[in-house]
């Protein structure tokens, strides 16, 4: 607190005591200096876990909107209050029914604003996903996880964000501790707060991934304005491998993955979006794929995971509708305020087509969406490998539902559900 100087009943600060006045003003000035210095120091982020210290400043002062490409000034940012998920249960809370397809397929980024409380979505499949990740790490961890030194601090920042979010949102699963997070169900202890880097027991991206059902990726802007994949824990991606994409810019990640019409339709708007992304405007998007096997982590139908070149061209033609699965990703994209890096969370939802088609309106909507694919999309999504068994099934199920009154005319607009 700033000291006060009495003007009555105490010291006399009249002009007859100029030396005393100057002395007191000097002391007062020094106190002000100490107060300011202390405030500045308290705003500096230091940790043994970080490679350097950071002093965040207000957004307007940082002026990152006009930053030089490849640079970032740490910003002051407070995550909005997180509401507890009342009644959430690791046994009973079912996955959200994302059905990310429309009657007509469009080439767009498909982004929408993210509700801060929904950043990380967990449900009663958490344990299944967690066990799958544990098995994958034991089998081939070095291929699935990596944190380049240039994004080490961003990975620590991500852990700190999760430390604040998860216990607040899911207090029956996570507990915030002095050094990190404890999982109340598995007993796992994750320590990363002010822990020396040399004492980390796991890669920070591995720790983060073991808390959630998502795969995670960190991209860093370079001096050319390209966003480079520099860190990740990609364990359940199904169709792509971290080792193939690490150190590639976002554009190459998409073009090497043969994403249809990326250069013509998506490249420029995507680059503009990433360059303008601010810390207070996170977004989400959904996509979908069809898969001809039941493997969540790696789709064996496109080839062995260790094979250099994999793809639909090597897959066998599907003959059993019970082996066709719907795969949908819910991706969130955030700019981290301290490092300025961009974090992707990639949550995969996975279920049999036969199960999903029990839902009203779904068979007709999915059928129409697939029929609207052009040749590039068909090739990219493996159409030739499953259309012979899938389309007749969807047509049959759509007719059954239409006979029961579930028609396009009565269908509510509920995308992405």
The torsion angles phi and psi of 382, rounded to 5 degrees, stand at: 75, 25
Is the model's pLDDT at 255 over the cut of 90?
Answer: no
Return the bridge partners of 351, or none: 326
Confidence of residue 263 (pLDDT cuts 50, 70, 90): confident
Quick one: average pLDDT of 28-51? 55
Q: Which residue has the tokens 């250099």?
A: 308
Between 251 and 41, where is the model more confident? 251
- The pLDDT assigned to 325 comes to 98
Angle (CA) 340-344-350 rounded to 5° is: 170
Residue 16 belongs to some domain of the structure? no
Omega into 416 within 30° of 0, i.e. cis? Answer: yes
| Within a domain: 45 | no
Note the pLDDT tens digit of each residue in 97-127. 999 999 999 888 889 999 999 999 999 999 9
pLDDT of 166 > 70? The answer is yes
Per-residue pLDDT for 219 more than 50? yes
**Residue 394 within a domain:** yes
Residue 250 scores a pLDDT above 70: yes
Residue 4 has pLDDT above 80, yes or no: no
More confident residue, 21 or 318: 318
Mean pLDDT throughout 278-287?
96
Ramachandran class of 332: left when φ > 0, alpha when ψ lies in -120 to 50, beta otherwise: beta
**Does 28 fall in a domain?**
no
pLDDT, residue 107, reads: 80
Residue 11 binned pLDDT confidence (cut-offs 50, 70, 90)? very low
- Checking if the pLDDT of 260 tops 90, the result is no
Where does the pLDDT of residue 265 fall: very low under 50, low under 70, confident under 90, or very high at 90 and above? confident
The dihedral sign for the CA sequence 377, 379, 382, 387: positive
**388, 348 Cβ separation under 8 angstroms:** no
Domain that includes residue 403, residue range: 62-87+99-408
Model pLDDT, residue 141 = 83
* Total domain count, the chain: 1
145 belongs to a structural domain: yes
User: What digits encode the pLDDT tens for the residues 53-86?
Assistant: 999 999 999 999 999 999 999 999 999 999 999 9
Burial class, 52, CB count within 10 angstroms (exposed 0-12 / middle 13-18 / buried 19+): exposed
What is the pLDDT averaged over residues 187-214? 96
**Phi, psi angle pair for 409, to nearest 5°:** -65, -30
Give the residue, 11 or 241, on which the prediction is more confident.
Answer: 241
**CA-CA distance, 102 to 25, in Å (whole number)?**
72
- Taking residues 244-273, report their average pLDDT: 85
Average pLDDT, the chain: 89
Residue 10 confidence (pLDDT): 35
Give the pLDDT of residue 7. Answer: 34
pLDDT at 285 over 60: yes
Quick check: is 80 in a domain? Answer: yes
pLDDT at 6 over 60: no
**What pLDDT is recorded for position 41?**
42
Mean pLDDT, residues 200-222: 97
- Residue 37: which pLDDT band, with cuts at 50, 70 and 90? very low
pLDDT at 256: 75
57 in a structural domain: no
Residue 47: name the closest of 193, 202, 203, 198 by CA.
193
Q: What distances in angstroms separate CA 272 from CA 211, 253, 326, 330, one per listed residue?
A: 32, 17, 31, 21
Query: Would residue 351 count as lying in a domain?
Result: yes
Using 50, 70 and 90 to split pLDDT, how confident is the model at 342?
very high
């Amino acid at each position: 607190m700033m000291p006060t100087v009495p003007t009555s009943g105490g010291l006399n600060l009249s002009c007859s005591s100029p030396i005393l006045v100057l002395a007191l003003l000097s002391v007062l000035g020094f106190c002000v200096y100490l107060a300011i210095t202390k405030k500045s120091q308290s705003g500096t982020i230091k940790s043994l876990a970080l490679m350097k210290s950071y002093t965040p400043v207000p957004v307007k002062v940082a002026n990152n909107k006009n930053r030089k490409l490849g640079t970032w000034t740490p910003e002051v940012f407070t995550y909005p209050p997180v509401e507890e998920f009342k009644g959430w249960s690791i046994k009973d809370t079912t996955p959200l029914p994302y059905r990310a397809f429309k009657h007509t397929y469009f080439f767009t980024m498909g982004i929408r604003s993210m509700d801060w409380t929904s950043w990380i979505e967990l449900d009663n499949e958490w344990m299944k996903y967690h066990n799958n990740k544990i098995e994958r790490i034991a089998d081939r961890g070095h291929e699935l996880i990596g944190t380049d030194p240039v994004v080490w601090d961003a990975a620590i920042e991500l852990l700190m964000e999760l430390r604040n979010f998860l216990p607040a949102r899911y207090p029956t699963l996570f507990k915030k501790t002095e050094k990190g997070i404890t999982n109340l169900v598995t007993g796992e202890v994750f320590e990363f707060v002010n822990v020396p880097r040399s004492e980390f027991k796991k890669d920070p991206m591995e720790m983060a991934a073991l808390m959630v059902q998502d795969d995670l990726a960190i991209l860093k802007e370079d001096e050319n304005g390209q966003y480079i994949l520099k860190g990740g824990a990609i364990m359940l991606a199904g169709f792509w491998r971290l080792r193939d994409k690490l150190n590639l810019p976002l554009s190459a990640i998409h073009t090497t993955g043969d994403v249809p019409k990326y250069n013509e339709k998506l490249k420029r708007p995507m680059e503009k979006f990433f360059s303008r992304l601010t810390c207070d405007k996170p977004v989400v998007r959904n996509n979908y794929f069809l898969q001809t096997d039941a493997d969540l982590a790696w789709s064996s139908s496109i080839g062995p995971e260790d094979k250099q070149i994999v793809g639909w061209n090597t897959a066998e033609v599907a003959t059993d509708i019970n082996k066709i699965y719907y795969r949908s990703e819910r991706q969130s994209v955030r700019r981290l305020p301290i490092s300025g890096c961009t974090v992707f969370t990639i949550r995969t939802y996975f279920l049999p087509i036969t199960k999903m088609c029990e839902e009203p309106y779904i068979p007709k909507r999915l059928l129409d969406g697939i029929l609207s694919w052009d040749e590039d999309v068909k090739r990219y999504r493996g159409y030739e490998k499953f259309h012979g068994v899938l389309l007749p099934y969807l047509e049959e199920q759509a007719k059954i539902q239409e006979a029961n009154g579930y028609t396009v005319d009565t269908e509510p607009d509920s995308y992405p559900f």
